Structure 1
């Protein structure tokens, strides 16, 4: 079977749908967090410079991941590779944020923990046996 034929198998469609849903949740949480820091920007204890930098990076990565998830579902190997790499890199970055004491406020660590759980699902799906097999064909 070709990649194109594998894309339309019921299992593939289910995995792509779940991946796009999870990445969409990650993007939604990230955008809402950006809105929150804009609204709370006057409170230096809640919104530090590090928070601004981190949240902007997260929104940018979430947007790139969402575009990659959509393109992956259309059969793009490059987008699939990008999605695998980004989900792994962002999981490591979240683990560092959660582990480093005092670098970020507790509320952001909680938000990042939630994002990490969502990305764990994404990483499991895109690194799973099924999608690796779909994109190994060709």
Structure 2
């Protein structure tokens, strides 16, 4: 069932989610390359975190596409996943030594993108 939802902030947020998804997938590819050439930069924590982030980014993109088409429940799911991922990223980057520095910086960038997404999808202009 579709409903009328103000589109422009959601479309902008969907673009940010697309960038987040592309960055997340590129990170998994980087982990694979680093595993071969510099294994100390691509340990198990990087693999686990990278895979989870890439999977949730794809899920978030599905929710974003549905929300832009007017599905209210998808907007709710999108809001929940964005909020959870922002908190998870904040926790992960705050734990010293858990993930390599390069991935910590990538996660900070992901967090910044998701804060932008949250600012757009949590606007009161959506019914």
TM-score, scaled relative to structure 1: 0.86
Q: Which runs of 4+ in 1 moved over 3 A?
A: none
User: For the aligned residues, what is the CA RMSD?
Assistant: 1.2
Aligned to 2:110: 115
Indicate yes or no: 2:39 matched with 1:61. no
Deviation at 1:45, TM superposition (A): 1.3
Mapping for residues 2-41 of structure 1, pairs under 5 Å: 4=3, 6-7=4-5, 12-41=6-35
- Give per-residue Cα distances to partners, 1:51-90, cap 9 Å, x unaligned: 0000000010000000000000111122111100000000
C-alpha offsets along residues 21-70 of structure 1, whole Å, 9 cap, x if unaligned?
A: 00001001001111111111122210010000000000100000000000
Measure how far apart 1:130 and its partner are.
Answer: 1.1
- TM value normalised by structure 2: 0.93
Q: Which runs of 5+ in 2 are unaligned?
A: none
Aligned partners of 1:23 and 1:61: how far apart in 2?
10
**CA separation in 2, counterparts of 1:105 and 1:116?**
16
Q: How many residues are aligned here?
A: 125
Matching residue of 2:88: 93
Residue 39 of structure 2 corresponds to: 44
Uncovered stretches (5+) of structure 1, i.e. residues with no partner: none
Work out which of the two has the higher radius of gyration on C-alpha atoms and give 1 or 2: 1
Distance in 1 separating the partners of 2:39 and 2:89: 22
Structure 2 CA distance, aligned partners of 1:34 and 1:83?
A: 22
The SS at the match of 2:98 is coil
